[in-house]
Structure 1
């Protein structure tokens, strides 16, 4: 089963889900044993297929660490925290978490765009 750990223990995902933000970006870092990569990718694909069908889903992209590290980063864009919360807490999705290899650890965190004058817009 997938182990969930907070990126920021002072403000874990459960607390973030209570904020109304639109749009919102999920950044999720996965660590796992090298031998579990194939199984991880199969389960992640199934989860991504489920999420793509949910209201408010915009896009996702999975990235693999360079080199020998079996570390992955998932970046997913949602219309709002409410849409992500509905998908993330959906009983069908929650049931899927048990299919992940036992070595898999997920470190999810939600973000919103930040404005930096002369560089990027919020």
Structure 2
């Protein structure tokens, strides 16, 4: 089972869960011991398949850090914070998380798109 640490200690994921927003992006920075990368990838695939089956799921993507660092960045898009919250708290997901290697540390945080004139839309 992975450790959970806040990406922003002043506003951890537990405080973000109660905010209603739509759509949302979950960003999760994951680290682990180098020898646990294969186990992490297998567990992540199981997590992603589970989330893909949940109402409100839109997409996910996993990225690996360049070089020798066993660091991964995952982002997942959901229709709403409520949809993500329901999937995250689902007993089936809680079982899936147990498959992650003990050396894994997850640092999740929720975000919303921001509109910047002439560059991007919200």
Q: TM-score, normalised by structure 2?
A: 0.97
Which moves more between the two structures, 87-96 or 23-32? 87-96
- The CA deviation at 1:16 is 0.7
Gaps of 5+ in 1: none
Q: Deviations over 1:59-112 (max 9, x none)?
A: 000000011111000011000000000000101111222211111000000000
Which moves more between the two structures, 73-82 or 3-12? 3-12
Q: Which residue of 2 aligns with 1:98?
A: 98
Aligned length: 122
Gaps of 5+ in 2: none
| Structural mapping, 1:3-42, within 5 Å | 3-42=3-42
- The CA deviation at 1:17 is 1.1
